[in-house]
Chain A
Amino acid sequence: MPRFFVLRVPENEGVVEVAANDPANTVDQVGPYARVSAAGPIVIDRRATGCRHAVWYSAVAGLQDSHITQHDKDALRVEAR
């Protein structure tokens, strides 16, 4: 199961919101982090998050038994290892 963490700071809220709006994902809270989990690959559309580039490329705080298979100007894709 792919899982990644995002620190809850104002700049990252777009990522958390986009993740939470996708019914395929579950978002729970681990201390000050949001943890995004899903049964299959998690895909976050960058434009939907509204993140500027510097924020977008530093938004992932941790990968739980997962790896990033795409992280570019279009999307972030996280898959199980």
Chain B
Amino acid sequence: MTDNLTPKPVHRVRGVDHAAFPTFDPNATVRFYRDVLKFPVVHSICAAGWGPEKHPDFIHFFFDIGGGDRLAFFYYFGWEPAGDQEAPGDAWARLPMDTPVFFKNSRHIALNVADEEDLLEYRKRLDESEWPVEMQVMHETIESIYTHDPNGYMLEITRQLRPVTPQEDLDAQLTIEALCDVAAGEHPSMDQLLNRKAELIVERATDWEQPQPKELV
């Protein structure tokens, strides 16, 4: 509850309510999320088609992905997938045949786990299923496992190796400002970005000090 003395913050959203994707294979989708990963089914909507456009009847169903967040699917009765099903892509869209894997996989969902034990538990569940882990990668500050769900969506499960530090928040702000600057110009490149970012570092980072924890009032 707030009053006039404690105005609400500018940043008020509270995480993912749900992210939604179409599926043409509800059986495999339920096996993958409910039976293999053991994500509880927490909500569903059985809806007759309605609205101004021709809309098929559909089922909208939700899996609990922890933290109060949910992953949801639509199954549309009588609706067929579009495009060449051999082409790179997923249940939502197919891409041109020569689309590289890095681009196809750039759109993905990543779920968080607390520690290595939990990461390896999900690795075990997947490896014992029809959808084994495709790769396990130690990134800069996270370690992740990856697979594709039955709909072709890439799923990442990740653990943080350490908390993100305040200097990394500053670095991210400078990176994004440099990116927006060079992306507005012609032929943006990493070289341009790193040179622009160096200017911003000299301007903004010189007097930066480690934020101190706020004193309790």
Contacts and interface: CB of A to CB of B under 8 A. Distances in A.
Contacts of B141: 9, 11
A64 B195 contact: yes
A32 to B, nearest CB: 4
B73 to A, nearest CB: 32
Contacts, number: 73
Contact of B191 (A3, A10, A30, A67): A67
A10 B195 contact: no
Contacts of A60: 194
A11 B202 CA distance: 22
Nearest to A32: B167
A5 B139 contact: no
A6 B138 CA distance: 20
- Identify whether the interface residues of B are mostly helix, strand, loop, or mixed: helix
B137 A7 contact: no
B195 A58 contact: no
B50 interface: no
Counting contact residues on chain B (CB < 8 A from A), the size range is 20 to 34
Interface in B166-217: 167-168, 170-171, 191, 194-195, 197-202, 204-208, 210
Contacts of A63: 191, 194-195, 197-198
Contacts of B197: 5, 61-63
B201 A30 contact: yes
Interface string A38-81: 00000000000000101100101111111110000000000000
A62 B191 contact: no
A73 to B, nearest CB: 16
Contacts of A66: 195
A67 B194 CA distance: 9
B2 interface: no
B140 A62 contact: no
B205 A3 contact: no
A30 to B, nearest CB: 6
B106 interface: no
Interface in B37-90: none
Given A31-B208, A60-B194, A5 B140 contact: no
B162 interface: yes
A7 B171 contact: yes
A32 B205 contact: yes
The 3 closest A-B pairs by CB, nearest first: A31-B205, A62-B198, A32-B167
10 contacts: A11-B140, A31-B208, A32-B167, A32-B171, A33-B201, A54-B140, A55-B140, A60-B194, A62-B194, A62-B197
